[in-house]
Homo-oligomer: A and B are copies of this chain.
Amino acid sequence: MAKAPTVYDVASDAGVSIATVSRVLRRPADVRESTRERVMASVRELGYVPSGSARGLAARRTGALGLYFPGFDAMDDLDEISDLSANESPGYTLIDDVGGAQDSHQFNLYFDEVLRGAELEAWRRGFALTVAVGRGGLAADAVRDMAGRVDGLLVLSQSVPDDALEQLARRIPIVVLASKAEGGPFDSVTVSNREGMHALAAHVIGDLGSGDIAYVAGPLDSPDDTDRWAGFVSALRERGMEPGDVRLRRGEFTRASGRRAGADLLASGDLPKAIICANDQMGLGVLDALNGSGVRVPDDVVVTGFDGIEAANLSSPRLTTVHQPMEMVGRAAIQLMQRRLDDPEAEPASMRLPVKVLLRESSERK
Protein backbone atom coordinates (compact mmCIF):
# COMPACT_ATOMS: atom_id res chain seq x y z
CA MET A 1 0.00 0.00 0.00
CA ALA A 2 2.10 2.88 -1.27
CA LYS A 3 1.51 6.21 0.33
CA ALA A 4 -1.61 7.68 -1.10
CA PRO A 5 -1.09 10.48 -3.58
CA THR A 6 -2.38 13.90 -2.58
CA VAL A 7 -3.41 17.01 -4.42
CA TYR A 8 0.21 18.06 -4.35
CA ASP A 9 1.29 14.97 -6.22
CA VAL A 10 -1.39 15.43 -8.81
CA ALA A 11 -0.60 19.12 -9.14
CA SER A 12 3.06 18.60 -9.76
CA ASP A 13 2.41 15.72 -12.10
CA ALA A 14 0.04 17.81 -14.15
CA GLY A 15 2.12 20.95 -13.89
CA VAL A 16 -0.52 23.05 -12.20
CA SER A 17 -1.19 24.33 -8.69
CA ILE A 18 -3.15 22.47 -6.09
CA ALA A 19 -5.94 25.00 -6.36
CA THR A 20 -6.46 23.99 -9.94
CA VAL A 21 -6.56 20.33 -9.03
CA SER A 22 -9.14 21.01 -6.42
CA ARG A 23 -11.15 23.06 -8.87
CA VAL A 24 -11.08 20.37 -11.50
CA LEU A 25 -12.68 18.03 -9.02
CA ARG A 26 -15.17 20.41 -7.42
CA ARG A 27 -15.99 23.05 -9.99
CA PRO A 28 -14.87 21.75 -13.36
CA ALA A 29 -16.57 24.60 -15.20
CA ASP A 30 -14.09 27.06 -13.75
CA VAL A 31 -11.17 25.39 -15.45
CA ARG A 32 -10.17 25.50 -19.09
CA GLU A 33 -10.93 22.25 -20.80
CA SER A 34 -7.37 21.50 -21.83
CA THR A 35 -6.16 22.00 -18.28
CA ARG A 36 -8.95 19.90 -16.94
CA GLU A 37 -8.06 17.01 -19.14
CA ARG A 38 -4.44 17.19 -18.19
CA VAL A 39 -5.32 17.11 -14.53
CA MET A 40 -7.78 14.27 -14.93
CA ALA A 41 -5.14 12.27 -16.71
CA SER A 42 -2.82 12.68 -13.75
CA VAL A 43 -5.61 11.80 -11.37
CA ARG A 44 -6.22 8.57 -13.19
CA GLU A 45 -2.61 7.74 -13.59
CA LEU A 46 -1.76 8.25 -9.96
CA GLY A 47 -4.93 6.67 -8.71
CA TYR A 48 -5.69 9.76 -6.73
CA VAL A 49 -8.60 9.62 -4.30
CA PRO A 50 -9.38 12.76 -2.32
CA SER A 51 -9.13 12.37 1.42
CA GLY A 52 -12.53 12.55 2.98
CA SER A 53 -11.04 13.81 6.21
CA ALA A 54 -9.22 16.69 4.60
CA ARG A 55 -12.23 17.57 2.54
CA GLY A 56 -14.42 17.49 5.56
CA LEU A 57 -12.08 19.61 7.56
CA ALA A 58 -11.60 22.24 4.93
CA ALA A 59 -15.20 22.40 3.81
CA ARG A 60 -16.62 22.12 7.30
CA ARG A 61 -19.03 19.44 6.24
CA THR A 62 -18.45 15.73 6.00
CA GLY A 63 -21.05 14.83 3.43
CA ALA A 64 -22.23 11.98 5.61
CA LEU A 65 -25.31 11.42 7.70
CA GLY A 66 -25.55 9.08 10.65
CA LEU A 67 -28.22 6.58 11.57
CA TYR A 68 -28.27 5.39 15.13
CA PHE A 69 -30.34 2.49 16.34
CA PRO A 70 -30.64 0.83 19.68
CA GLY A 71 -29.43 -2.75 19.63
CA PHE A 72 -30.27 -5.92 21.36
CA ASP A 73 -27.76 -6.42 24.07
CA ALA A 74 -28.48 -10.07 24.17
CA MET A 75 -27.30 -10.84 20.69
CA ASP A 76 -23.67 -10.30 21.44
CA ASP A 77 -22.48 -13.82 21.62
CA LEU A 78 -19.01 -12.79 20.75
CA ASP A 79 -17.32 -15.76 19.26
CA GLU A 80 -14.61 -15.47 16.74
CA ILE A 81 -15.75 -17.14 13.59
CA SER A 82 -12.67 -19.23 13.15
CA ASP A 83 -9.21 -18.98 11.90
CA LEU A 84 -8.66 -19.17 8.23
CA SER A 85 -8.15 -22.88 8.32
CA ALA A 86 -11.90 -23.26 8.11
CA ASN A 87 -11.21 -23.78 4.46
CA GLU A 88 -10.25 -27.32 5.23
CA SER A 89 -13.66 -28.26 6.60
CA PRO A 90 -16.25 -30.09 4.51
CA GLY A 91 -18.12 -26.82 4.18
CA TYR A 92 -21.55 -27.95 5.24
CA THR A 93 -23.59 -29.52 7.99
CA LEU A 94 -26.57 -31.76 7.44
CA ILE A 95 -29.46 -30.86 9.70
CA ASP A 96 -32.71 -32.70 10.07
CA ASP A 97 -35.11 -29.78 10.33
CA VAL A 98 -38.35 -31.64 9.78
CA GLY A 99 -40.89 -30.27 12.19
CA GLY A 100 -38.43 -27.58 13.08
CA ALA A 101 -39.52 -24.38 14.70
CA GLN A 102 -41.30 -22.13 12.33
CA ASP A 103 -40.41 -19.38 14.67
CA SER A 104 -37.64 -17.20 13.45
CA HIS A 105 -35.43 -14.43 14.43
CA GLN A 106 -37.02 -11.65 12.47
CA PHE A 107 -36.03 -9.26 15.15
CA ASN A 108 -34.60 -6.24 13.56
CA LEU A 109 -36.41 -6.14 10.30
CA TYR A 110 -37.49 -2.76 11.43
CA PHE A 111 -33.93 -1.62 11.37
CA ASP A 112 -33.34 -3.17 7.98
CA GLU A 113 -36.17 -1.45 6.26
CA VAL A 114 -35.64 1.92 7.80
CA LEU A 115 -32.02 1.70 6.87
CA ARG A 116 -32.85 0.82 3.33
CA GLY A 117 -35.07 3.83 2.97
CA ALA A 118 -32.56 6.12 4.59
CA GLU A 119 -29.76 4.84 2.44
CA LEU A 120 -31.77 5.33 -0.71
CA GLU A 121 -32.69 8.86 0.13
CA ALA A 122 -29.21 9.73 1.35
CA TRP A 123 -27.73 8.42 -1.83
CA ARG A 124 -30.08 10.52 -3.94
CA ARG A 125 -28.88 13.57 -2.12
CA GLY A 126 -25.22 12.75 -2.34
CA PHE A 127 -24.72 11.84 1.28
CA ALA A 128 -22.92 8.84 2.61
CA LEU A 129 -24.73 7.02 5.37
CA THR A 130 -22.97 5.80 8.48
CA VAL A 131 -24.78 3.37 10.70
CA ALA A 132 -24.32 2.41 14.28
CA VAL A 133 -26.28 0.09 16.49
CA GLY A 134 -26.10 0.78 20.17
CA ARG A 135 -25.03 -2.05 22.42
CA GLY A 136 -24.33 -2.19 26.05
CA GLY A 137 -24.55 0.94 28.07
CA LEU A 138 -22.36 3.19 25.98
CA ALA A 139 -25.08 4.66 23.84
CA ALA A 140 -24.07 8.19 24.74
CA ASP A 141 -20.44 7.62 23.80
CA ALA A 142 -21.16 5.83 20.59
CA VAL A 143 -23.58 8.41 19.38
CA ARG A 144 -21.20 11.17 20.37
CA ASP A 145 -18.44 9.63 18.34
CA MET A 146 -20.78 9.37 15.44
CA ALA A 147 -21.88 12.95 15.86
CA GLY A 148 -18.31 14.04 15.30
CA ARG A 149 -18.17 12.53 11.89
CA VAL A 150 -21.48 13.38 10.24
CA ASP A 151 -23.46 16.43 9.21
CA GLY A 152 -26.67 15.22 10.76
CA LEU A 153 -27.93 12.48 12.97
CA LEU A 154 -30.98 10.25 12.65
CA VAL A 155 -31.81 8.63 15.93
CA LEU A 156 -34.43 6.10 16.82
CA SER A 157 -36.57 7.33 19.63
CA GLN A 158 -35.55 6.12 23.07
CA SER A 159 -32.19 4.88 21.85
CA VAL A 160 -30.26 7.77 23.32
CA PRO A 161 -30.77 9.41 26.69
CA ASP A 162 -32.66 12.63 26.31
CA ASP A 163 -30.06 14.80 27.94
CA ALA A 164 -27.32 13.45 25.72
CA LEU A 165 -29.52 14.15 22.74
CA GLU A 166 -30.17 17.72 23.70
CA GLN A 167 -26.49 18.23 24.24
CA LEU A 168 -25.74 17.01 20.75
CA ALA A 169 -28.54 18.98 19.24
CA ARG A 170 -26.59 22.12 20.04
CA ARG A 171 -23.94 21.06 17.58
CA ILE A 172 -25.64 19.06 14.91
CA PRO A 173 -29.12 18.65 13.45
CA ILE A 174 -31.04 15.70 14.80
CA VAL A 175 -34.09 13.91 13.48
CA VAL A 176 -35.90 11.50 15.76
CA LEU A 177 -37.55 8.43 14.27
CA ALA A 178 -40.73 6.95 15.66
CA SER A 179 -40.81 9.63 18.24
CA LYS A 180 -43.50 9.17 20.83
CA ALA A 181 -44.33 12.83 20.93
CA GLU A 182 -44.86 14.94 17.91
CA GLY A 183 -44.12 18.53 18.55
CA GLY A 184 -41.00 18.02 20.61
CA PRO A 185 -37.85 20.05 20.20
CA PHE A 186 -36.61 17.89 17.33
CA ASP A 187 -37.67 17.19 13.82
CA SER A 188 -39.34 13.83 13.92
CA VAL A 189 -41.00 11.11 11.91
CA THR A 190 -43.86 9.16 13.33
CA VAL A 191 -46.25 6.54 12.12
CA SER A 192 -50.01 6.59 12.52
CA ASN A 193 -50.08 3.85 15.10
CA ARG A 194 -53.07 5.22 16.82
CA GLU A 195 -55.12 5.92 13.74
CA GLY A 196 -54.25 2.54 12.27
CA MET A 197 -55.31 0.62 15.32
CA HIS A 198 -58.42 2.69 15.57
CA ALA A 199 -59.40 1.88 12.01
CA LEU A 200 -58.62 -1.80 12.41
CA ALA A 201 -60.47 -2.14 15.68
CA ALA A 202 -63.45 -0.21 14.40
CA HIS A 203 -63.61 -2.52 11.42
CA VAL A 204 -63.41 -5.65 13.52
CA ILE A 205 -65.92 -4.48 16.08
CA GLY A 206 -68.29 -3.32 13.38
CA ASP A 207 -68.14 -6.66 11.62
CA LEU A 208 -68.60 -8.60 14.76
CA GLY A 209 -71.67 -6.99 16.10
CA SER A 210 -70.89 -8.44 19.47
CA GLY A 211 -68.41 -6.93 21.82
CA ASP A 212 -66.67 -10.03 23.05
CA ILE A 213 -63.08 -9.00 22.53
CA ALA A 214 -59.61 -9.72 23.89
CA TYR A 215 -56.66 -7.41 23.51
CA VAL A 216 -53.11 -8.68 23.70
CA ALA A 217 -50.96 -5.71 24.59
CA GLY A 218 -47.21 -5.21 24.57
CA PRO A 219 -44.89 -4.05 27.32
CA LEU A 220 -46.04 -1.12 29.37
CA ASP A 221 -43.02 0.99 28.55
CA SER A 222 -43.44 0.83 24.80
CA PRO A 223 -44.64 4.05 23.21
CA ASP A 224 -45.92 2.03 20.27
CA ASP A 225 -48.02 -0.03 22.57
CA THR A 226 -49.39 3.06 24.24
CA ASP A 227 -50.45 4.59 20.95
CA ARG A 228 -52.04 1.42 19.69
CA TRP A 229 -53.92 0.90 22.86
CA ALA A 230 -55.16 4.47 22.67
CA GLY A 231 -56.43 3.85 19.16
CA PHE A 232 -58.13 0.69 20.28
CA VAL A 233 -59.81 2.38 23.21
CA SER A 234 -61.13 5.19 21.07
CA ALA A 235 -62.64 2.64 18.69
CA LEU A 236 -64.27 0.90 21.65
CA ARG A 237 -65.76 4.10 22.92
CA GLU A 238 -67.23 4.90 19.56
CA ARG A 239 -69.25 1.74 20.05
CA GLY A 240 -70.20 2.60 23.57
CA MET A 241 -67.77 0.17 25.12
CA GLU A 242 -65.14 0.75 27.75
CA PRO A 243 -61.68 -0.76 28.23
CA GLY A 244 -63.07 -2.61 31.20
CA ASP A 245 -65.33 -4.57 28.86
CA VAL A 246 -62.33 -6.16 27.19
CA ARG A 247 -60.15 -9.04 28.26
CA LEU A 248 -56.66 -7.61 28.44
CA ARG A 249 -53.50 -9.66 28.44
CA ARG A 250 -50.01 -8.33 28.30
CA GLY A 251 -47.16 -9.91 26.36
CA GLU A 252 -43.68 -8.90 25.31
CA PHE A 253 -44.17 -8.45 21.60
CA THR A 254 -42.81 -11.96 21.05
CA ARG A 255 -44.35 -14.91 19.35
CA ALA A 256 -43.92 -17.02 22.45
CA SER A 257 -45.84 -14.56 24.56
CA GLY A 258 -48.57 -14.57 21.93
CA ARG A 259 -48.76 -18.33 22.17
CA ARG A 260 -49.13 -18.10 25.90
CA ALA A 261 -51.89 -15.52 25.58
CA GLY A 262 -53.69 -17.72 23.06
CA ALA A 263 -53.34 -20.78 25.25
CA ASP A 264 -54.66 -18.89 28.25
CA LEU A 265 -57.70 -17.76 26.36
CA LEU A 266 -58.29 -21.29 25.15
CA ALA A 267 -57.91 -22.66 28.63
CA SER A 268 -60.49 -20.25 29.93
CA GLY A 269 -63.01 -22.30 28.00
CA ASP A 270 -64.68 -19.18 26.73
CA LEU A 271 -63.05 -17.78 23.64
CA PRO A 272 -63.77 -14.21 22.67
CA LYS A 273 -65.00 -13.39 19.19
CA ALA A 274 -61.89 -11.43 18.37
CA ILE A 275 -58.33 -11.25 19.59
CA ILE A 276 -56.64 -7.99 18.76
CA CYS A 277 -52.88 -8.10 19.19
CA ALA A 278 -50.59 -5.12 19.53
CA ASN A 279 -48.07 -6.58 17.11
CA ASP A 280 -47.73 -9.32 14.52
CA GLN A 281 -45.44 -11.55 16.48
CA MET A 282 -47.99 -11.92 19.20
CA GLY A 283 -50.74 -12.33 16.64
CA LEU A 284 -48.83 -15.17 15.04
CA GLY A 285 -48.32 -16.70 18.45
CA VAL A 286 -52.05 -16.59 19.06
CA LEU A 287 -52.63 -18.27 15.71
CA ASP A 288 -50.14 -20.96 16.69
CA ALA A 289 -52.09 -21.67 19.83
CA LEU A 290 -55.47 -21.69 18.11
CA ASN A 291 -54.35 -23.70 15.10
CA GLY A 292 -53.27 -26.51 17.34
CA SER A 293 -56.64 -26.75 19.01
CA GLY A 294 -59.19 -27.07 16.25
CA VAL A 295 -60.50 -23.56 16.65
CA ARG A 296 -61.26 -22.02 13.29
CA VAL A 297 -59.91 -18.61 12.37
CA PRO A 298 -61.67 -16.43 11.45
CA ASP A 299 -64.94 -18.35 11.74
CA ASP A 300 -64.72 -18.93 15.46
CA VAL A 301 -62.32 -16.17 16.35
CA VAL A 302 -60.95 -13.20 14.48
CA VAL A 303 -57.25 -12.51 15.08
CA THR A 304 -55.32 -9.41 14.10
CA GLY A 305 -51.78 -8.17 14.42
CA PHE A 306 -49.86 -4.99 13.82
CA ASP A 307 -46.70 -4.10 11.90
CA GLY A 308 -47.07 -5.87 8.61
CA ILE A 309 -44.05 -8.11 8.90
CA GLU A 310 -43.45 -10.63 6.21
CA ALA A 311 -44.33 -13.63 8.34
CA ALA A 312 -47.82 -12.24 8.80
CA ASN A 313 -48.25 -12.54 5.07
CA LEU A 314 -47.15 -16.15 5.02
CA SER A 315 -49.05 -17.57 7.96
CA SER A 316 -52.18 -19.60 7.58
CA PRO A 317 -54.52 -18.04 7.77
CA ARG A 318 -52.75 -14.92 6.66
CA LEU A 319 -52.83 -12.38 9.42
CA THR A 320 -54.83 -9.19 9.17
CA THR A 321 -52.54 -6.42 10.25
CA VAL A 322 -51.60 -2.79 9.96
CA HIS A 323 -48.59 -2.23 7.80
CA GLN A 324 -46.06 0.31 8.89
CA PRO A 325 -44.20 2.09 6.12
CA MET A 326 -40.80 1.48 7.60
CA GLU A 327 -38.82 2.22 4.50
CA MET A 328 -40.73 5.47 4.25
CA VAL A 329 -39.75 6.31 7.79
CA GLY A 330 -36.14 6.20 6.73
CA ARG A 331 -36.77 8.24 3.64
CA ALA A 332 -38.85 10.83 5.40
CA ALA A 333 -36.19 11.23 8.05
CA ILE A 334 -33.58 12.07 5.45
CA GLN A 335 -35.93 14.52 3.84
CA LEU A 336 -36.48 16.25 7.12
CA MET A 337 -32.75 16.33 7.63
CA GLN A 338 -32.19 17.90 4.28
CA ARG A 339 -34.69 20.57 5.10
CA ARG A 340 -33.01 21.20 8.42
CA LEU A 341 -29.60 21.49 6.83
CA ASP A 342 -30.96 23.89 4.26
CA ASP A 343 -32.61 26.00 6.89
CA PRO A 344 -31.16 25.53 10.35
CA GLU A 345 -33.56 28.05 11.81
CA ALA A 346 -36.76 26.38 10.68
CA GLU A 347 -39.30 25.38 13.26
CA PRO A 348 -39.06 21.74 14.30
CA ALA A 349 -41.33 19.73 12.07
CA SER A 350 -42.94 16.38 12.43
CA MET A 351 -44.03 14.02 9.70
CA ARG A 352 -46.68 11.48 10.47
CA LEU A 353 -46.74 8.69 7.92
CA PRO A 354 -49.88 6.85 6.96
CA VAL A 355 -50.28 3.13 7.57
CA LYS A 356 -52.14 0.50 5.59
CA VAL A 357 -54.75 -1.62 7.26
CA LEU A 358 -54.45 -4.96 5.51
CA LEU A 359 -57.59 -7.04 5.90
CA ARG A 360 -56.69 -10.66 5.36
CA GLU A 361 -57.94 -14.13 6.01
CA SER A 362 -57.53 -14.07 9.76
CA SER A 363 -60.35 -11.57 10.05
CA GLU A 364 -62.38 -11.74 6.84
CA ARG A 365 -64.87 -14.44 6.08
CA LYS A 366 -65.37 -15.01 2.43
- Please classify the interface of chain A as helix (H, G, I), strand (E, B), loop, or mixed, using the class held by over half of its residues: mixed
Contacts of A120 in B (CB 8 A): 75-76, 133
Is A168 close to B, CB under 8 A? yes
Contacts of A94 in B (CB 8 A): 199, 203, 357, 359
Is A36 close to B, CB under 8 A? no
The answer to whether B310 touches A171 (Cβ under 8 A) is: no
Is A268 close to B, CB under 8 A? no
Closest residue of chain B to A366, judged by CB?
B98
Contacts of A98 in B (CB 8 A): 359-361, 364, 366
The answer to whether B62 touches A173 (Cβ under 8 A) is: no
The answer to whether A116 touches B108 (Cβ under 8 A) is: yes
Is A4 close to B, CB under 8 A? yes
The answer to whether B123 touches A332 (Cβ under 8 A) is: no
CB distance from A128 to the nearest CB of B (A): 5
The answer to whether B95 touches A358 (Cβ under 8 A) is: yes
Closest residue of chain B to A357, judged by CB?
B94
Is A267 close to B, CB under 8 A? no
Closest residue of chain B to A145, judged by CB?
B128
Is A19 close to B, CB under 8 A? no
Task: Give the interface residue-count category, chain A.
Answer: 35 or more
The answer to whether A355 touches B91 (Cβ under 8 A) is: yes
Q: With contacts A91-B352, A354-B91, A359-B94 known, is A2 near B128, CB below 8 A?
A: no
Contacts of A54 in B (CB 8 A): 53, 57
The answer to whether A358 touches B97 (Cβ under 8 A) is: yes
Contacts of A332 in B (CB 8 A): 81
Contacts of A78 in B (CB 8 A): 124
Contacts of A364 in B (CB 8 A): 96, 98
The answer to whether A84 touches B195 (Cβ under 8 A) is: no
A134 to B167, CA, bound (A): 35
Is A80 close to B, CB under 8 A? yes
Q: With contacts A86-B353, A87-B351, A352-B91 known, is A147 near B360, CB below 8 A?
A: no
Give residues in A with beta carbon < 8 Å to B: 1-2, 4, 47, 49-57, 62-64, 75-76, 78, 80-82, 84, 86-87, 89-100, 102, 104, 106, 108-109, 111-112, 115-116, 119-120, 123-124, 128-133, 135, 142, 144-150, 167-168, 170-173, 182, 192, 194-196, 199, 203, 310-311, 313-316, 318, 320, 322, 328, 331-332, 335, 344, 349-361, 364, 366
Interface pairs A-B: 9 shortest CB-CB:
A52-B149, A91-B192, A53-B56, A91-B195, A314-B314, A112-B112, A53-B57, A52-B148, A97-B358
27 A–B contacts, CB within 8 A, in A order: A4-B171, A4-B172, A47-B168, A49-B172, A51-B57, A52-B53, A52-B56, A52-B150, A53-B149, A56-B149, A81-B331, A82-B351, A87-B350, A90-B199, A91-B354, A91-B355, A94-B357, A96-B364, A97-B320, A100-B313, A100-B358, A100-B360, A108-B116, A112-B112, A115-B115, A128-B132, A129-B131
